[in-house]
Amino acid sequence: MKVFTLSPSEFAFGFEGCKKCYYDKIVNNLKYASFFPPVFSLLDICQKKYYQGKSSKSISENLDEGVVITENSDRIIKSETLYDNKKRPFILRGKLDAYIKHKNFYTVVDFKTSSMSLDKAPMYSAQLHSYALMLENPSDKEKIISPVKTLGLFCFSPNQVIDHKKGSNTFQMNARWAEVKRDDKGFFSYVTSVLDLLHGEIKAVRNPKCTVCAFVDRHLANEKKQS
Ligand code: SF4
């Protein structure tokens, strides 16, 4: 049976966004190259650099005492082979922004530069659970980081410029912590529905709200009319 490698960051907007594009990307290696503004990567680098080695309390007073680790965020982590609820194998592979080392456990942290309302945090539950499982069950057994008890998003959104000097502005960001409850049972049900799609058990339908396919369809219809 084919072993699919799933990327945690592609659940929220890939699988949830459009089943057809998600299927084509993973099964047919057909990728729509969208533009990702480089400013987000730059903000991400600054945030990770600042929080490396800081106390967990710098993220939220609600977190247990611990140390934030961002220095491995460039490293690709791969899980060992895991199995969904129908015993189909899959592998999780991706990069984790940060984790917190507490006395007896770990917290997974994903940085988001977004002003999203915190009740949208569960949308990222599968991504956060993937990171937890990758840390606890890595393909390289010497790199086990376990147990992961807490998961959450650390969300930044630009607020105002508070100072300026020649050639340099100081920008203030709102920063909020949104915890997501660990629920491995829910995660494995979710991955089972992802693998149902990839193994062809459910149809890969287009997102009717996407304007790209609608544009291509109209374009092709026009061409047909003119020929
Ligand atoms: S509807 Fe949009 S997202 Fe879906 S297959 Fe078409 S281009 Fe891709």
- The distance from CA 20 to its chain's CA centroid, rounded to whole angstroms, is 19
Atom of ligand 1 nearest to the CA of 212: 7
pTM over 0.85: yes
**Does an H or E element contain 152, and which?**
strand 148-165
- CA of 42 from ligand 1 middle (Å) equals 28
Mean pLDDT, the chain, whole residue set: 93
Length of the chain: 227
Rounded to the nearest angstrom, the distance between the alpha carbon of 212 and the centre of ligand 1 is: 6
Task: Give the Å distances, CA to CA, from 167 to 163, 164, 170, 175.
Answer: 11, 8, 10, 25
Digit-coded pLDDT (tens) for 122-150: 889 999 999 999 999 999 999 999 999 99
Helices (H) and strands (E) in the chain, counts: 5, 9
What's the average model confidence in pLDDT over 214-226? Answer: 89
What digits encode the pLDDT tens for the residues 41-66?
Answer: 899 999 999 999 999 999 999 999 99
* Averaged pLDDT for residues 198-214: 91
Question: What percent of the chain stands above pLDDT 70?
Answer: 100
Give the whole-angstrom CA distance, residue 151 versus residue 181.
7
pLDDT of 149 reads 98
What is the pLDDT confidence band of residue 185, given thresholds at 50, 70 and 90? very high
Beta bridge partners of 83: 89
**Nearest-angstrom CA–CA distance, 99 and 110:** 8
Whether cis (ω within 30° of 0) applies to the bond prior to 147 is yes
Residues with CB under 6 A from ligand 1: 18, 20-21, 32, 206-207, 210, 212-213
Instruction: Decide yes or no: CATH 3.90.320 for domain 4-226.
Output: yes
